[in-house]
Structure 1
Amino acid sequence: MTLDMMLALLVFLFPLAYSPGPGNLFFAANGAQFGFRATIPATLGYHIATAVVTLLIGSGALAAQAISPELFQMLKLAGVIYMVWIASKLWRAGGTKSDLHAQPARFRDGVVLLVLNPKAYVIIAVMFSQFLTPVDAAMANAYSTALGRTGQLGVVAVITFVFTLNNFVAFSIWTLIGEGLARQFARDARARQLNRGFALLLGGVAIWMLLM
């Protein structure tokens, strides 16, 4: 992959990773309630799942287009239900210190968040359709040798690494933003307002996912 293609990939990914969406709002809300360190397990779960799914799609083992419409709709509905469930928990949460039963998101929560996000599959498939160049694909088709296949997989690995790292940076920034907001809403009543604000945002994202 050339430097120009790398820069184009970063430009392509910037608005997708840094604008409000299910992932970054989820981590911002957890950062607000529990702080940056407490979100690390969920962050690892999300981004390990991201890397695995991206590698599978990029290597051709999985494609968004190959998912049946029925399965895709079921995945979308499951994702919406999960987001609404998270939003409802935030809405009922008290202050950051007073809600003794609240727990930070775990490793598996991060994995589930990625797996149940059909939009992620589409974005990854579109990304590879744009940045896994025809030259690379032609090379893999023209040469059945291990060298040709390895060359294509090398490009897939680079794109996967850039995509996952970019998401990690974006989500870390949103988590820190959430933690910073929590300091401004330190009192219990104001912390509850912050949690409910995140709940409304996540609920809005769930509705948007359903209508997509």
Structure 2
Amino acid sequence: MLQTTAALIVFLFPLAYSPGPGNLFFAANAARFGFAATVPANAGYHLATWVVTAAIGLGFVTAMDQAPQLFAALKTAGSLYVLWLAWKLVRAGALEGAQQARAASFTDGAVLLVLNPKAYVIIALMFSQFLAPAEAPRLWPVLLITTIFTLNNLLAFSAWALAGGSIAKLFQTPGGARWLNLLFGAVLAAVAIWMLLT
């Protein structure tokens, strides 16, 4: 099992640490509000990650295969949700939003994961590679893979948030905060469009 765990981590490393919707979302929030403010959303995202991953590993992928329209609906809903978060960030800057803006919440983090169909694809691919079809009982291998996947993502997103938090120190004035909101709002909008088109 140790060899499988090591192979799984190597498989997941480029997926988790390369730029993607999740890491850019947390980097943008940390840049605007600081690293500590991202903790609730990070917790929400990764609690949802663990639950969704375990569900897929225990058979949810079969339901998705039988209802491809669900995948398309999640893809659209997820893109629109990230676009909405980007609009809130941009608008906060335009309104001198130091008092009006707020960091992403636990719920925002959970919704971001649930409405991200790319996560479902990666999770299904991971189980197809690292869970033997005839493995019995399946519960413990699924829970182990789920936990490794979740912790790996948590570390990656925290690293991106730390990088974003260090950027925030460069923007201490109201004018700087406005430009920061516009910049990272644009990044999140680009992520939303990327999620929608790919």
TM surpasses 0.5 = yes
Distance 1:15 1:46 in 2: 19
Task: Give the superposition deviation at 1:198.
Answer: 1.5
Measured against aligned partners, the alpha-carbon deviations of 1:168-200 in whole angstroms (never above 9, x if no partner) come to: 011111111111000022222223222222222
Q: What RMSD in Å do the two structures reach over aligned CA positions?
A: 1.8
Per the alignment, residue 208 of structure 1 pairs with: 194
Percent identity between matched residues is: 59
Number of residue pairs matched by the alignment: 197
Contact 2:171/2:180 (<8 A) preserved: yes
2:164 to 178, 182, 191: 178
Amino acid at match of 1:138: A
Verify: 1:158 aligned to 2:158, yes or no.
Answer: no
Task: Give the superposition deviation at 1:62.
Answer: 4.1
Cα–Cα, structure 1 residues 182 and 63, in superposed 2: closer, same or farther, change >3 Å? farther
Cα–Cα, structure 1 residues 195 and 172, in superposed 2: closer, same or farther, change >3 Å? same
- Which segments of 5 or more consecutive residues in structure 2 lack a partner in the other structure? none
SS at match of 1:104: coil
Per the alignment, residue 76 of structure 2 pairs with: 77
Contact 2:61/2:124 (<8 A) preserved: no
Contact 1:64/1:125 (<8 A) preserved: no
Distance 2:154 2:85 in 1: 21
- Which segments of 5 or more consecutive residues in structure 1 lack a partner in the other structure? 141-148
TM-score, length of structure 1 as denominator length? 0.86
Measured against aligned partners, the alpha-carbon deviations of 1:100-156 in whole angstroms (never above 9, x if no partner) come to: 1111111111110111001111110000001113xxx3243xxxxxxxx2xx21111
Contact 1:94/1:191 (<8 A) preserved: yes
Rg larger for = 1
Per the alignment, residue 55 of structure 1 pairs with: 54
Contact 1:45/1:109 (<8 A) preserved: yes
Deviates more, 1:156-165 or 1:86-95: 86-95
TM-score, length of structure 2 as denominator length? 0.91
Task: Give the superposition deviation at 1:39.
Answer: 1.6
Cα–Cα, structure 1 residues 77 and 91, in superposed 2: closer, same or farther, change >3 Å? same
